[in-house]
A and B are shown apart, each in its own frame.
Chain A
Amino acid sequence: MARAVSSRRKLAATVAAWAVALVIFFPILYTVITSIKTEGEAISGFSLIPSFTLENYFTVQSQKDYFKPFMNSVVLAVGSTLLALVIAVPAAWAMAFSPTKRTKDILMWMLSTKMMPAVAVLVPFYLMFRDFGLLDTRIGLTVMLTMINLPIVVWMLYTYFREIPGEILEAARMDGASLWGEIVYVLTPMAVPGIASTMLLNIILAWNEAFWTIRLTTTNAAPLTAFIASFSSPQGLFWAKLSAASTMAIAPILIMGWFSQKQLVRGLTFGAVK
């Protein structure tokens, strides 16, 4: 009896959840479907059955040199994340393992920098980038993305490092490990999962950053955000091709995102929700 009720309830929940999920996912799904339609099909009314052509993907590359902004995105996202890690790992390490009274204040201050509206410093940065010849360069934008994500990187690493129990370090010390041995054999292997998820989330954030990447680039260093934004009026690039470009722009990060759901909650709430 109870079983029948619960299995009927499970079925109802399944139907409802799938319906909601499909509605939310629909814009993405439809974009992917449209990307394998012909241009004619794309504008001839609603249809979920494409003719499975990959032509749009080739056209986007041949006409618009898609590969260039894609590589810019990769370089910027990965580069800025690695750079941020190099700066942040020692800081988070120190805060987690030898905290002082001011550690908390420093962390809160770092968080507060994240809240400065980007647009408020658009003019100074624009002028400085112009004067230092950094406009539309990968270097300039990498540094920019590094700095805006640095507080999140420090925070995420800090919350991960703090979870390594102190007794393990003491055990290593009792076992005769030197400071170096402690770092190499005990701390690093235990910290690697945390560092990896921090890296993943920050690549996602950097990949999708759409203010500085659009404003500080024109062509040379423009990543996919700027590339796609330039098609706000679809002249010369139509529905199906735009869909193909969009699909390629979001696919890698979407897949990474699926793997980082849990870390996402932690990272973006600064450890407040786990």
Chain B
Amino acid sequence: MSTRNTQGLARAMMAPSVVLLLIWMIVPLAMTLWFSFQNYNLLNPANVSFAGLFNYQYFYTDPAFFQSVWNTLVIVVGVLLITLIGGTAIALLLDQPMFGQGIVRIMIISPFFVMPPVAALIWKNMIMHPEYGVLADINRSLGFQPVDWFAQYPLLSIVIIVAWQWLPFATLILLTALQSLDGEQKEAAEMDGAGFVSRFIYLTLPHLARAMTVVILIQTIFLLGVYAEILVTTNGGPGYASTNLAFLIYRTALLGYDVGGASAGGIIAVILANIVAIFLMRAVGKNLDR
């Protein structure tokens, strides 16, 4: 009797979260899907008509689309590589005994808490500016020409900024995983005559595998949607050189007023994100069965 009561109560307690999220997700997604089959331009909102697959075709044949998909990939893969390799190295370093470890940790984790527009502006103005930036100062003092980062290497600049923001996250998670490695295991391996390198390859790396999977999947979700960093620095340019899929959709929708086209792009983005999501759910889902 009491058990049945509890279950009814439990359902009532879950209902608000579930129902609200469901509405919040389904309604806009359905609208996006609907718009993606319409000719709908905000400049001419009275004239809406069925477009069939035209929007998809339009988006698909737009050269900017392929460039943006490529750029999205470059950002995701580039940042992942930097943060994983750098994060592992820094985590290994932080795992050593040292003086002032607390302060070092605080400094390394800090970039993660910097809001994206501020991060982008700091890098744009303080660090990478071709006249006043610190990198330009360094170049000049070494006798080189300063680099105009955002004009010459727009995509690389974005990758650097975003990697700077996510490096702390990877480091922190890998460090947490590293610290959960059983000390006796390490000692046993040492007794077995394993050197630092073989201990890293046969013991540490397999232990970190799970944390790395989590880092890859979670970062990918966020990296697919990099937006503010682009908006503040290059605004997607020059041309489409630093436009990713998210930014292209934004451009189409709110700068081109093309609701239909942007919606088709949105549906494509959903499909891409879902492919990633499936893997993430599996990885996290396993953890639930503990």
Interface residues in chain A, defined as those with a beta carbon under 8 Å from any beta carbon in chain B: 6, 9-11, 13-14, 16-18, 20-22, 24-28, 30-31, 34, 42-43, 45-46, 87-88, 90-91, 93-95, 97-98, 100, 104, 106-108, 110-128, 147, 150-151, 154, 204, 207-208, 210-211, 214-215, 224-226, 228-229, 231-232, 234, 239, 242-243, 246, 249-250, 253-254, 256-258, 261-262, 264-265, 268-274
Contact = CB atoms under 8 A, between A and B. Distances in A.
27 contacts: A13-B98, A21-B103, A24-B108, A88-B17, A91-B16, A98-B10, A107-B288, A108-B281, A112-B277, A112-B281, A115-B273, A115-B280, A117-B225, A119-B250, A147-B21, A154-B17, A208-B113, A210-B116, A210-B117, A228-B117, A231-B121, A232-B232, A239-B126, A253-B113, A254-B113, A257-B109, A269-B284
Contact of B122 (A100, A120, A211, A246): A246
Contacts of B144: none
The 9 closest A-B pairs by CB, nearest first: A120-B266, A257-B113, A90-B13, A94-B10, A124-B31, A210-B228, A13-B96, A25-B107, A124-B28
A123 B262 contact: yes
B143 interface: no
B107 A121 contact: no
Interface in B119-175: 119, 121-127, 131-132, 134, 137-138, 164, 167-169, 172-173
Nearest to B137: A46
A120 B270 CA distance: 7
A274 B176 contact: yes
A150 B100 contact: no
A272 B284 contact: yes
Given A21-B104, A207-B115, A258-B109, A98 B7 contact: yes
Contacts of A242: 121, 125
A89 to B, nearest CB: 9
A202 B126 CA distance: 29
Contact of A25 (B93, B110, B225): B110
Contacts of B113: 204, 208, 250, 253-254, 256-257
Contacts of B287: 270-272
Given A98-B10, A108-B281, A264-B172, A124 B218 contact: no
A53 B90 CA distance: 36
Nearest to B288: A104
Contact of A27 (B111, B221, B250): B111
B249 A119 contact: yes
Contacts, number: 299
A261 B254 CA distance: 37
B169 A125 contact: no
A14 B115 contact: no
Contacts of B211: 273
Contacts of B277: 112, 115
Contact of A116 (B9, B273, B281): B273
Contacts of B107: 21-22, 24-25
A160 B101 CA distance: 27
Contacts of B90: 20
A206 B29 CA distance: 22
A72 to B, nearest CB: 13
Given A24-B168, A31-B126, A117-B270, A253 B25 contact: no
Contact of B17 (A6, A110, A224): A110
A11 B100 CA distance: 11
B20 A150 contact: yes
Contacts of B18: 91, 106, 110
Given A91-B17, A110-B18, 20 more contacts: A18-B104, A24-B164, A30-B122, A31-B126, A87-B16, A98-B7, A111-B284, A113-B21, A116-B270, A120-B269, A123-B35, A124-B32, A214-B117, A214-B231, A228-B121, A231-B121, A232-B235, A265-B176, A269-B214, A274-B176
A36 to B, nearest CB: 14
Contacts of A271: 287
Contacts of A6: 97
B21 A128 contact: no
Interface in B191-220: 210-211, 214, 218
Contacts of B214: 269, 272-273
A256 B32 CA distance: 37
A115 B278 CA distance: 10
A239 B125 contact: yes
Interface in B11-55: 11, 13-14, 16-18, 20-21, 24-25, 27-29, 31-32, 35
